[in-house]
Amino acid sequence: AQSVTQLDSQVPVFEEAPVELRCNYSSSVSVYLFWYVQYPNQGLQLLLKYLSGSTLVKGINGFEAEFNKSQTSFHLRKPSVHISDTAEYFCAVLNTGGFKTIFGAGTRLFVKA
């Protein structure tokens, strides 16, 4: 069975600083990987996804992530954050050919002025 570990529960960062949110996964087969964002009192929105091909994936709002198969990681990065990036971020994994998307516990990003 697959699993996802988000290594930081909270990440405080100053506005315009770079940020990295870490995600490791476990699976015995090939996977698809996703990052979602959740703003307060809203549902989850897709930030970016890795299905195949280039291991560097670019998403919305200036975010990007790199798939590292050898380290089973899919870390999310942004070179310069804004106050509006304050939200909770979820990493998720889906086994290729599988039915269930499994989510990490989430990382709360707090951007300070």
Partner 1 sequence: NAGVTQTPKFRVLKTGQSMTLLCAQDMNHEYMYWYRQDPGMGLRLIHYSVGEGTTAKGEVPDGYNVSRLKKQNFLLGLESAAPSQTSVYFCASRGLYTEAFFGQGTRLTVV
CB 16 within 8 A of CB 81: yes
- Residue 110 within binding range of partner 1, rule CB under 8 A: no
CB 103 within 8 A of CB 4: yes
Give the DSSP letter of residue 73.
Answer: E
What's the CA gap between 37 and 104, in Å, rounded? 12
- Residue 103 within binding range of partner 1, rule CB under 8 A: yes
Kindly state the smallest distance separating residue 80's Cβ from partner 1, in Å.
Answer: 26
Binders of partner 1 in range 6-35 (CB under 8 A): 6, 9, 32, 34
Q: What are phi and psi of 60, to 5 degrees?
A: -80, 165
- Residue 90 within binding range of partner 1, rule CB under 8 A: yes
44, 64, 66, 77: residue in contact with partner 1 (rule CB under 8 A): 44
Find where tokens 């990036």 sit. Answer: 85
Kindly state the smallest distance separating residue 41's Cβ from partner 1, in Å.
Answer: 8
Binding site for partner 1 (CB under 8 A): 6, 9, 32, 34, 36, 41-46, 49, 51, 90, 92, 99-106
